[in-house]
Amino acid sequence: MTTLFFSSNKYPLLGSALLKGRSYSVELISVKEKDRLYAKNEANFLYTRKASIYGCCIKLLTSAEYVKERWEDSFYSMSEDIRSHGRLVVLQEKGKKLSIKYDPYTKTAFLFNVDYYGWVKSLALAVAGDVLEDEHKIYSVHGAAIDVKGKGVSLIAPPGTGKTTHSYGLLSMDGARLVADDWFFVRLSSREPLAFGSEKNSYIEADIGKIWGEYEKLVKNAHLDPQGRAVVNVRWIVGNDGVIPMTTMQEIILLKRDAEDKNIVTKLDAEEALQYLMSKNFCNPHQLVTDERKLRLRKDFFMQYLKQTSVHMVNTTQSPHETQRRIREIIRSEA
């Protein structure tokens, strides 16, 4: 089961447009505390929606039309006849601070005073990821997945290093198609890893049109929220066949931005790549449970994932267009 709550205002008050320097922590709670919070707030569930996130049914409960509308645009819908695997509850409480609570037993998350939809949808994906990781050995990657003529390419990076910028830049390559721009799920096997998309549409920043001109029309026609972001259908730009549900992953490109490192492109082995990912918390700030067991699961997954692919590090200190050229060189050379 998954449940989401938000405020009763159509457009909740939002904080810093870019959320610079903002973060949150997750408090793990008991089933008893989950039941108490649910009962306390049940009268506020004006809207309920169920999303299909790679086969998981995640349920939204909210009093806010704003969240309900964004949710419907973000995710594929799930039949109301299907019982939910997880819940996301998003509420606004006057005079109280932002807090996020999660019951890992029932897969129920409560989001209090979260004023940024990007966190709402990422935590919905994190709840689905928790279900898939524990019960199906399917793992989350907080990154972009692009298919280039049948070859899967993944961009994984910490915030502020250009993951979104370069993911959308790659879509103008001949034969490139989008699988996921922010989060995807991976099935491992004895052969190549399979990467699966997670969202129906993309949640993008308006600035993307300033870097890649082909997206200006998309941004211009979008309904931007006060954060300067919008849920958009990139098929308007790349065509209906420009978005596909899965790819076979072959190339992983890690990004960093380090002015002191003069190397722009570096080939990495699996150990080097894993060390970088672990030093950046797997480039995923939305992990709900981070205990020793979960760390071991994710470490083992990424080691196998990295061993089955080719890995490069790209330092994004150059201009976006020059960095994009270097990334495309890697993709073409590994073809």
Whole-number Cα distances in Å, 263 to 12, 120, 296, 316: 44, 37, 31, 10
Nearest to 114 by CA among 133, 138, 88: 88
Determine the Cα angle at 117 with ends 37 and 72, to 5°: 90
Summarize pLDDT for 195-249 with one digit per residue, the tens: 999 999 999 998 999 999 999 999 988 988 888 899 999 999 999 999 999 999 9
Type of residue numbered 166? H
Percent share of the chain, pLDDT over 70: 93
Hey, how many other C-beta atoms are within 10 angstroms of the C-beta on 242? Answer: 15
Ordered alpha helix ranges (H), 137-179: 163-170
For residue 245, what are its two tokens?
């549900």
Quick check: 180 pLDDT over 50? Answer: yes
Determine the Cα angle at 328 with ends 325 and 334, to 5°: 145
Q: Give residue 15's pLDDT.
A: 24
Q: Give residue 226's pLDDT.
A: 83
Quick check: 9 pLDDT over 70? Answer: no
In which band, very low, low, confident or very high, does the pLDDT at 5 lie, cut at 50, 70 and 90? very low
Pick the CATH number of 140-333 from 3.90.1150.10, 3.40.50.300, 3.30.365.10, 3.40.50.920: 3.40.50.300
In CATH, what number does 26-136 get?
3.40.449.10
73 or 93, greater pLDDT:
73
Q: Give residue 19's pLDDT.
A: 53
Quick check: 77 pLDDT over 60? Answer: yes
Quick check: 23 pLDDT over 90? Answer: no
Q: Give residue 227's pLDDT.
A: 87
Count of residues in the chain: 335
Quick check: 21 pLDDT over 90? Answer: no
- CA torsion through residues 120, 124, 127, 129, sign: negative
User: How are beta strands 26-28 and 99-103 bridged, if at all?
Assistant: parallel
Quick check: 79 pLDDT over 90? Answer: yes
Residue-averaged pLDDT of the chain: 91
Quick check: 320 pLDDT over 90? Answer: yes
Q: Which residues, in sequence order, are CB contacts of 300 under 8 Å at separation 6+?
A: none
Q: Could you give phi then psi for residue 189, rounded to 5 degrees?
A: -150, -175
Q: Give residue 92's pLDDT.
A: 83
Helix or strand or coil: residue 220? helix
What pTM does this model have?
0.91
Summarize pLDDT for 94-140 with one digit per residue, the tens: 888 999 999 999 999 999 988 899 999 999 999 999 999 999 999 99
- CA torsion through residues 151, 152, 158, 162, sign: positive
Nearest to 124 by CA among 165, 76, 82: 76
Q: Could you give phi then psi for residue 234, rounded to 5 degrees?
A: -70, -10
For residue 18, what are its two tokens?
């870019």
Nearest to 148 by CA among 333, 331, 309: 331
CA distance 232 to 234: 6
Q: Give residue 20's pLDDT.
A: 52
In which band, very low, low, confident or very high, does the pLDDT at 335 lie, cut at 50, 70 and 90? low
Average pLDDT for 312-332: 96
Summarize pLDDT for 30-62 with one digit per residue, the tens: 999 999 999 999 998 889 999 999 999 999 998
Write out the E strands in the chain: 26-28, 47-53, 56-62, 76-77, 86-91, 99-103, 108-112, 139-141, 143-148, 151-156, 176-180, 184-187, 194-196, 202-205, 229-232, 246-256, 265-268, 310-315
Domain ranges of the chain: 26-136, 140-333
